[in-house]
Chain A
Amino acid sequence: DGGITQSPKYLFRKEGQNVTLSCEQNLNHDAMYWYRQDPGQGLRLIYYSQIVNDFQKGDIAEGYSVSREKKESFPLTVTSAQKNPTAFYLCASSPRTGVNTEAFFGQGTRLTVV
């Protein structure tokens, strides 16, 4: 089945550690996105990529890094510089780089700092 797969579903991070969240899609979509969702706040864009080997910062990129070495994959690293990383992270993809096309989301990764 075509779709977006995020892993793991739950992730626990110790203070000072970097962690990487996986996002893979088999929809042959060009654009991919990372969002963060916190209670009482709308989805906030962390990074997005319109094409392989290219990506742009979103609204809250500080403390995060990404790569786009393959069309299917867009991993997100939460670094120790991110002061408040506990959140629900969502990966999405859309078929064209123009924004007025719908995005399809994965099932999310819940990251907790312990």
Chain B
Amino acid sequence: EDQVTQSPEALRLQEGESSSLNCSYTVSGLRGLFWYRQDPGKGPEFLFTLYSAGEEKEKERLKATLTKKESFLHITAPKPEDSATYLCAVPNAGNNRKLIWGLGTSLAVNP
């Protein structure tokens, strides 16, 4: 069964303390992996799409990487405004017009 698992469920960092979030997936024939950021009470905001193992993308303090089984979202020197829930999703192998979503990692960055 296609599945997306994110870890940890929650992460608390001090401002400037770098860390990584994990998204592991079991989908045959990966057709892309998406990272989103969601603030409380709002819709998810698109961050990155990764298509192939070894690919990396960066945006400000965030860098996303992809292997054949998982993706990491590295957060370098985070600031309080990086506090949010980070979601990842992959297309369903059986119907690639559907996305399988992880439950997210809730990140809190303390000043």
Bound pair: A and B? yes
A residues apposed to B, CB below 8 Å: 4, 6, 31, 40-45, 48, 50, 56, 58-59, 90, 92, 97-108, 110
Q: How far is the CB of B38 from chain A (nearest CB, A)?
A: 9
Q: How far is the CB of A88 from chain B (nearest CB, A)?
A: 8
**What are 12 residue pairs bridging A and B, where the CB atoms are less than 8 Å apart in the complex?**
A42-B100, A43-B44, A43-B99, A48-B98, A59-B98, A99-B32, A100-B31, A100-B51, A101-B49, A106-B43, A107-B42, A108-B43
B residues 62-111 touching A (CB-CB < 8 Å)? 87, 89, 91, 96-104
Chain B residues closer than 8 Å to A102, beta-carbon distance: 34, 46, 49
> Does B13 make an interface contact (CB < 8 A)?
no
Q: If A42-B101, A43-B101, A58-B98 touch, does A103 touch B46 (CB 8 Å cutoff)?
A: yes
Q: How far is the CB of A43 from chain B (nearest CB, A)?
A: 4
* Central interface residue in B44, B45, B102, by most chain A CB within 10 Å: B44
